[in-house]
Amino acid sequence: MNKRRYDSEIVKSEIMQHASILFAQKGYNQTSVGDISKAAGYSKGHIYYHFENKEKLFVLLAQNTMQYWHSKWQQKEQSYLTATDKLYGMALHVLYNYQTPLLKSGQELATNPTISAQSLQKLADLAIIPMTAYRAIFQEGVDKGEFITGNIDEWTVLLGTWLGGLCQLTDAKELQLLEPLFKQAITIFLGSIRNGGN
């Protein structure tokens, strides 16, 4: 029984690995279950058994990608001593981890008219992970007296939309060239929330 479950997990993992590569190379719309089956070396039946359909397989991959983003941030976060430093660190983390291999496929799926409401909601919910990380930094800053007492939820939304907007530049410019802009965004933001102002 254990061996069977273990083998099943190996099959699932291998399908996910091959699907991730195909989605990154070909995009969501151009990748078929048949393509995934051929690349992974498992029947379509295996894919439907483990994931139900291509859409649910992709959503699971996207969720895993965001969990990886978060775990990378948690490792980096320990090296910053203050909430201010964490905000600068987070800005660079967002900059260098925005362009994931599955990003364009995710955008394709999100705008696909056939996407289920459940999958669309799960993709939208992925934004909760970075927003929760932003909020935790703000809360820490307020708790330690580094930031003024203010509307942390509002700050979180503002920072999320600001960094998200700046990320649109990553298609056109080298990431290193965008570092000063991302840092400046944090400097401007801190000007209104840091205890004692600038």
CA distance 177 to 156: 25
Rounded to two decimals, what is the model's pTM?
Answer: 0.87
pLDDT tens per residue, range 83-100 = 999 999 999 999 999 988
CA distance 68 to 21: 16
CA distance 86 to 132: 14
pLDDT tens per residue, range 160-198 = 999 999 999 998 999 999 999 999 999 999 999 998 755
Residue 2 reports pLDDT greater than 70: no
3-state DSSP assignment of residue 78: coil
- Of the given ranges (7-11, 23-27, 159-163), which has the lowest mean pLDDT? 7-11
Residue 14 tokens read as 């291998």
Residue 140 phi/psi, 5-degree rounding, is -60, -45
How confident is the model at residue 197, as a pLDDT?
57
Q: What is the DSSP letter of 41?
A: T
